[in-house]
Each structure stands twice: as C-alpha cells, then as structure tokens.
Amino acid sequence: LKKRVVDLELKPKFAMSLVAGLTAAETEHLVIDVTAIETKGRRTERLTKEGWELAEQQPVKGKQLLRFAREDLYPVPTILDEMGLSYDEKLLSFKSRITKQFPEKFAEWIKAMPENIELDIDLRLRSILADPVTAAVRFEVVGQDIDWFDLRIVIDVQGVNLSKAQIRQLVAARGGYVRMDDGSWMRLEIKLDADQREAVTRLGLDPFDLSGETHRMHALQLADPKAAEVFDPKAWERIKNRASDIQIEVNPDVPSALNATLRPYQIDGFKFLAYLSVNNFGGILADDMGLGKTIQSLTYLLWLFEEHEKSGGVKKPALVVCPKSVLDVWYSEAGKFAPNLRVKILKNRDDIDVNHIQNNIDILVLNYAQLRVCGEELNEIKWLTTILDEGQQIKNPDSKAAKCARELDSQNRLVLTGTPIENRLLDMWSLMAFAMPGVLGSRAYFKKRFDKRKDPLSQTRLASRLRPFLLRRTKLQVAQDLPPRTEEEVYSKMEGIQLELYKAELKRIQKALLGLDSDEAVKKNSFAILQGLMRLRQICCHPGLIDPKYLKEESAKMESLFYLLDQLHEEGHKVLVFSQFVSMLDLIKARLELEARPFHYLTGQTKDRKGEIERFQTTKDPSVFMLSLKAGGAGLNLTSASYVILYDPWWNPAVENQAIDRTHRIGQKNKVIAYRLLTRDTVEEKIRILQHQKTQLVT
C-alpha cells in the first residue's frame, strides 16, 4: 500500500485584477481568484466562502493513491483578511474596494506575502509595485526688486514623458501614489542629497510645492551658504552680491545717556535692534518675559535718536503702543533708564496735537484701545519708530488694532512679545505683516504653506524664513547672564470709582491732620491716622476692601495682576502671590475660581499648611499660590516657583525680602523674578520711598 501512495504538494495562487463597477454608483474593486494547484497540474482547488473545493483533477494512473500536502493552504484565509477581502458569490472570487489608501496598503501587503504563493498580477496593479519616478529640483529666479527676489521651484522629471498637470499631481501627492489616466498608479521621488535637503529647509521652502506661484523672499532669507546647492550659479551670484551689501554685523556702542548697565545678552539684543534699523528692516524681539525687553528697547531708542540727529534728519518722535496696564511701566522705566527722553502718556484723543508731539515729545505712549480710536490722528504724524509692546495684541490680522498699526507712517517698526505665537501660526504672519510686510508672503500664500498644512516641517521652514528678522532668547539660554534675583516694579493708575474713593479718603485724612495743632495731639490720634493710611492702601488694592458695595468696581492693580498671571501661565510658570490683606487674597481667589484656574491658598487660618505646600511643590502644572505676608512670608521652601508677585507694599522691606526668599533659596534651579505691584500717585509710592531709605540705612 505504501508503494502506491504518491505525495504531492498543493501551492496557492492569487490571480489579481481590477474590475470596474457595473454602474456609475458602484466602485472599482480588486478581485482575486484564489486557487491551489498541484505543481504538475494534476489537481486544482478553488477557495470559496465554505473553504477549499475541488475544481479539477486529472485521472489517476493505475492504482496510484494521491496524497496532497496542504500545509501551504492553511494561512491563505488569514492573508486575505489582512487585505480586507471578502467572497463574492457572483464573481466566485474575493474582492476589496479600491480606496484612496489602497495603493499603499496593497504594496505593503504584497511585500509581506509568503514566497510560496504564486502571484499573477495584471499590469495596472503591477504599477503599484514599480520603482518611483525620480525628479531633480532646482530654483529659478524669475524676478528681482532691490532686496527682494521672486523664486519659482522647477522639477525635472527623468525617464518618462509627463504633462505639467501630471507632474503637479505627483508633486502634490508628496511621494504618495497618483492614479494616472490609463488606470495605473505612479509615485514621484524627488532626489535631494543631504546638503540639498538641508539647503531647502534652511531657506524655508518646500520642494513639494509646485503650485507655479512665485515665492518672494528677501536677499537675507536666501543668503545661506547652503543655498548654492539648489540655485544655478548665475542666480546664486546675484543673490550673494545683494546680500553682501546688507550690514549683517552692526556693532554700535551702548549710548552714554543710558542710565543702566546692560547684561551681555541685553547688549546683543540692542545690537540686533540696531541691525534691523540700519538695514531698514522691521522685526520682533521675542525674549522670554522678564529678560528686559523694555530696557533693550529704550537703549535702542536712545541710539536711534542719536543716529537720526547725526544724519540731519527732520525730528521725528517714537510711538509705543502697549496694554493699558503697562503704560506706567514705560513711563517709569524711561524716567529711570533714559531720563533725557521726553515721554508722554496719551490721556485722550484731544491730546493729539501733531505739531506739539512732533516738536516736543520724544516718546508717545498709548494703549491698544487708543490706537483703534485715534488711528486717523496718529497717521498724520511721521514716526521715527513704532514699538508694539505685547505685540500679540495684533495677532488677529482682521482686528481694528492690527489694521491701524499697519497703516502707521513709521520709518522703523518693532514688535516686543514673549509669546509671538499663541494659538496658530497665523499669529506670526499678523505680527510680521506690521513689522516687515511681505517677508512671509500674502496672507493666502502663508495660510496655504504654513497655517493649514499638517506638516511637521512647516514650523521649521517658518523659523528659517524669520531668522534674519526675529530674536528670541529663553531664560534658560541666558541664565548665566541673569542675576540671582531680579526685581521689577509694575505700576498701575486708578480711574473711576476707585480714584474718587481714594481722593475722598485722602481729603478726609488731610482735613483731620490740619485740625491737630501739636505733637501731643498727633500722638493721641495716631491710631486714627494709621487707620486712614490703611484705608488708602486698601483702596489701592481694591475698593471692595473698604466696603462690600464696591466689590464689583474695577481695580487697576487687580487688572495688572491678572495681566501678569495670564502671561506667566502661558509660559508654564508657577507663581507666588503675597498680600498682607487676607480679604484681598479672597477676592483674587474668587476670580481664579470663576476663571477655573489652578491655585493654592495659605493664610493664618489654613489648617493643612504642610499639605497645601506639598501639593504646590509637587504639581508640575502652572498654578498660583496665594499667601498672606504674615503666614507665608517666612519659614517656607517653595522652590518650585520662580516668580513672586508682591501685591501690596509693606513698610518694612526686610519682610518683603523674606517673602521673595521663599523661592529664592538653595534648591532653586531657575532664576527668580519678583514683581512689586504699585499704584501711581498714591501712598504706595511714599511707602516705596521709605523702603529705599530703610534699605540704604541698613546698608
């Protein structure tokens, strides 16, 4: 019996073809006829929904007993499932719908196919497995306007004849498959060596962009040495010659009129601003919050006025636009670091006297609301420079503020912001449309290439385009240049009900003091006097502290606080907020709760003091820790925070220093920045003077 047994093998075979739908509504399908064939054709089986069925078998010779090995057939159903194939009773074959993702999936499926399966693939399907068509990239200069060059990307396809429309389709697919007119598929591989790929990326261009639209770029954006790899020699020579005329290295001396000593990175920032001006560029200083963008700008302004005067130019003022809460900061910083400059804060629209501003003001400071309202009057003045502080305020290019800023007649333009991009890349386009119009193309051009495309390289290309016009340093990058601790004063100015209450209380105290005719009388009434001073300080914090009926009234200082908190939260920082008034902390807490912001809270009434501290120290997310000056001012280690805000000044500077030292201590890895919130023209300024006097006395 054994001698009669003949062992034979069944080998699977897939015959693949494309079948069009019978109606317009039906889609095209991949159809596979699955069979198993004995190597010499003596037996054929067909796979159906029910399993393997005999299709054909040759007559057996003599008394032979045929035994077929079926091991190679067992994996076949699983392999078909991987391609999403299902059995069709009409076709007596397996089929799968042709989708947009089909070519990639089919190619991977075939690649993983076991070698023992015989494949019979029709020509159209075989095109998916073919090597991609290759193309070379070059950049043509098709126009030039002084510092600007118009570029077009040209792709030379090699080895096949294709129309421009077909090439455009292949390029748009970015290496993916494209269905051709004859039903086949094709891929395009753009040949770029490592140097060429780096050159294209550094230029901020996309080799897959074959829209036919030109790319207008500045000579400095193109003057990367690597760019020679992708330009023809003549075009590269033109670009190189124009770029060499631009003063990239600008090394001005720090103006002697500056009443400050700049740190090294601040000197570099000033030189960057001077470089922008010398070359008639606009730009963005995007340093992290707290690195001194204001003092760098004031240094630049002093230098700019000096240079303009040397050139014999007609006198022009500078315009600074900033949030309302920062108006007093500019006024104060200018008075401290550049006392020779005449600075005016615009109060209202009627204050805009063109001749007076042109001849008697060096820096006019106003807020963004005033920019929107006074745009027409501001356009009548020729500005030496315009500085937009917290420039992200014009991130919406359709906003009235952004439009008014773009319309200003300004010789130089500068944006200051620690967060140039808040929500989307279009934020950056809006900032540059003010600072350096055209450098990022039209809005439609930008959105097409940067804002909407889900391309991991789009931000890299955008950074390359911006490199000559934007400077950004983080605190970590310049940490060695930062002092162990930085303190800044943030001023606000009262208005409305808050100001009226303050004036009324001040008048009451003054009247009471005038009635005291001796030192003895003053001593007897010292408690009442101190109570009056306390009320003045409370009004500076919030009018609701002296009477609950004023809780809904606005506090200038509280707005300054939340403006700061917004910025610090955006940058991912943890913050300590100190106040001697627990009732003030309660108001801040209520607003934080209303805005659903994370916070921690510690006063003399806090029972789980240790737990509250540990929760703040261990959380990684940005949050606010509110502490009363008395309960949290000493004995705590809060090194997970690097920012401290002193909401109200205290008579003794040592107490405030202790509060700052809760985070400025061993274990702190980041530089500490402390902000003192002060109200202009109030008792708080007197307290600050007293603090300086006490500090000098101790020294």
Strand, helix or coil at 178?
Answer: strand
More confident residue, 223 or 122: 122
Residue at 121 is within a domain: yes
Tell whether the model's pLDDT for residue 365 goes beyond 90: yes
Q: Cβ(489)–Cβ(332) under 8 Å?
A: yes
More confident residue, 83 or 610: 83
Q: Which amino acid is at 273?
A: L
Tokens of 170: 């292949």
Q: Please report the pLDDT score of residue 588 as a whole number.
A: 96
- For residue 178, the cross-strand partners are 186
Tell whether the model's pLDDT for residue 438 goes beyond 80: yes
Q: What span, in angstroms and rounded, lies between the C-alpha atoms of 341 and 368?
A: 22
Q: What span, in angstroms and rounded, lies between the C-alpha atoms of 588 and 555?
A: 11
The three-point CA angle 595-596-598 to 5° equals 120
Q: With both helix axes pointing from N to C terminus, report the angle between 194-202 and 458-466 in degrees, rounded to the nearest 10.
A: 60
More confident residue, 640 or 454: 640
Whether this prediction's pTM lies above 0.75 is answered by no
- Measured from the Cβ of residue 567, the count of other Cβ atoms closer than 10 Å reads 18
Q: What is the pLDDT of residues 75-124, one digit of tens each?
A: 999 999 999 999 999 889 999 999 989 999 999 999 999 999 999 999 99
Query: Would you place residue 238 in the very low, low, confident or very high pLDDT band (cuts 50, 70, 90)?
Result: confident
Tokens of 131: 């090597």
| 453 and 493 fall within a common domain | no
Least confident of 304-308, 327-331, 407-411, 640-644: 327-331
| 573 and 587 fall within a common domain | yes
Strand, helix or coil at 577?
Answer: strand
| Residue where a domain stops, chosen among 84, 110, 129 | 129
- Over residues 628-632, the mean pLDDT reads 81
Q: Please report the pLDDT score of residue 32 as a whole number.
A: 96
Q: Which amino acid is at 355?
A: N
Query: Would you place residue 199 in the very low, low, confident or very high pLDDT band (cuts 50, 70, 90)?
Result: confident
Q: What is the pLDDT of residues 135-181, one digit of tens each?
A: 887 777 777 777 778 777 777 787 787 777 887 788 778 788 998 88
- Over residues 311-325, the mean pLDDT reads 90
More confident residue, 629 or 127: 127
Residue at 249 is within a domain: no
Is residue 630 within a helix (H) or strand (E), and if so which, with residue range? helix 629-632
Residue at 252 is within a domain: no
Number of domains in the chain: 4
| 268 and 415 fall within a common domain | yes
- Over residues 595-615, the mean pLDDT reads 87
Torsion sign, CA atoms 688, 694, 695, 697:
positive
Q: Please report the pLDDT score of residue 636 as a whole number.
A: 67
Tell whether the model's pLDDT for residue 245 goes beyond 90: no
Residue at 258 is within a domain: no
Q: Please report the pLDDT score of residue 697 as a whole number.
A: 38
| Residue where a domain stops, chosen among 129, 151, 175 | 129
Q: Please report the pLDDT score of residue 170 as a whole number.
A: 82
- Over residues 566-593, the mean pLDDT reads 94
More confident residue, 214 or 677: 677
Q: Please report the pLDDT score of residue 269 as a whole number.
A: 96
Tell whether the model's pLDDT for residue 587 goes beyond 80: yes
Query: Would you place residue 266 in the very low, low, confident or very high pLDDT band (cuts 50, 70, 90)?
Result: very high
How far is residue 362 CA from its own chain's centroid?
33
Query: Would you place residue 427 in the very low, low, confident or very high pLDDT band (cuts 50, 70, 90)?
Result: confident
Q: Please report the pLDDT score of residue 678 as a whole number.
A: 96
Q: Phi-psi category of 27—alpha, beta or left, where left has phi over 0 and alpha has psi -120 to 50? A: beta
Residue at 321 is within a domain: yes
| 425 and 499 fall within a common domain | no
| 290 and 362 fall within a common domain | yes
> What is the average pLDDT value for the chain, to the nearest integer?
86
| Residue where a domain stops, chosen among 447, 464, 481 | 481
- Bridging pattern class, strands 29-38 and 43-48: antiparallel
The three-point CA angle 346-350-353 to 5° equals 80
Percentage of the chain modeled with pLDDT above 70 = 93
- Fill in the DSSP letter of residue 633: S
Which domain range does residue 623 map to? Answer: 486-698
Tell whether the model's pLDDT for residue 698 goes beyond 60: no
Burial label, 454 (beta-carbon count in 10 A; 0-12, 13-18, 19+): exposed
Q: What span, in angstroms and rounded, lies between the C-alpha atoms of 389 and 622?
A: 24
Buried b (16+ CB within 10 A) or exposed e, 29-43: bbbbbbbbbbeeebb
Residue at 535 is within a domain: yes
Q: Which amino acid is at 680?
A: R
Residue 507 CB partners (closer than 8 Å, separation 6+): none
For residue 78, which of 38, 103, 114, 45 has the smallest C-alpha distance?
Answer: 114
Tokens of 532: 């009056």
For residue 77, which of 40, 115, 117, 107 has the smallest C-alpha distance?
Answer: 117
Q: What span, in angstroms and rounded, lies between the C-alpha atoms of 213 and 150?
A: 10
Tokens of 644: 């401290």
Q: Please report the pLDDT score of residue 699 as a whole number.
A: 36
| 282 and 236 fall within a common domain | no
Is residue 217 within a helix (H) or strand (E), and if so which, with residue range? strand 215-218
| 530 and 434 fall within a common domain | no
Q: What span, in angstroms and rounded, lies between the C-alpha atoms of 249 and 584?
A: 51
- Bridging pattern class, strands 283-285 and 470-471: parallel
Tokens of 8: 């034979």
The three-point CA angle 425-419-209 to 5° equals 20
| 468 and 574 fall within a common domain | no
- Bridging pattern class, strands 185-186 and 188-191: unpaired
- For residue 672, the cross-strand partners are 485
Q: What span, in angstroms and rounded, lies between the C-alpha atoms of 442 and 406?
A: 14
Residue at 475 is within a domain: yes
- Could you identify the residue written with the tokens 């075009």? 235
Tell whether the model's pLDDT for residue 622 goes beyond 80: yes
Q: What span, in angstroms and rounded, lies between the C-alpha atoms of 364 and 625?
A: 37
Q: Cβ(338)–Cβ(301) under 8 Å?
A: yes
Tokens of 207: 């080799």
Query: Would you place residue 421 in the very low, low, confident or very high pLDDT band (cuts 50, 70, 90)?
Result: confident
Query: Would you place residue 342 in the very low, low, confident or very high pLDDT band (cuts 50, 70, 90)?
Result: very high
Q: Please report the pLDDT score of residue 545 as a whole number.
A: 95
Strand, helix or coil at 96?
Answer: strand
Burial label, 295 (beta-carbon count in 10 A; 0-12, 13-18, 19+): buried
- For residue 101, the cross-strand partners are none
CATH code: domain of residue 379: 3.40.50.10810
Q: What is the pLDDT of residues 9-61, one digit of tens each?
A: 889 999 999 998 755 566 889 999 999 998 878 889 999 999 999 988 888 77
| 476 and 403 fall within a common domain | yes
Tell whether the model's pLDDT for residue 453 goes beyond 70: no
- Over residues 175-189, the mean pLDDT reads 88
Strand, helix or coil at 353?
Answer: coil
| 44 and 143 fall within a common domain | no
What Cα–Cα distance (Å) separates residue 180 from each residue in 16, 169, 212? 19, 9, 21
Residue at 253 is within a domain: no
| 347 and 454 fall within a common domain | yes
Q: What is the pLDDT of residues 374-396, one digit of tens each?
A: 999 999 999 999 999 989 899 99
- Fill in the DSSP letter of residue 83: T
| DSSP assignments along 647-670, one per residue | -S--S-HHHHHHHHTTTSSTT--S
| 269 and 232 fall within a common domain | no
Q: What span, in angstroms and rounded, lies between the C-alpha atoms of 516 and 522?
A: 6
- Could you identify the residue written with the tokens 């292949």? 170
Q: What span, in angstroms and rounded, lies between the C-alpha atoms of 441 and 213?
A: 11
- Fill in the DSSP letter of residue 231: B
Tell me how many helices (H) and strands (E) the chain has. 26, 27
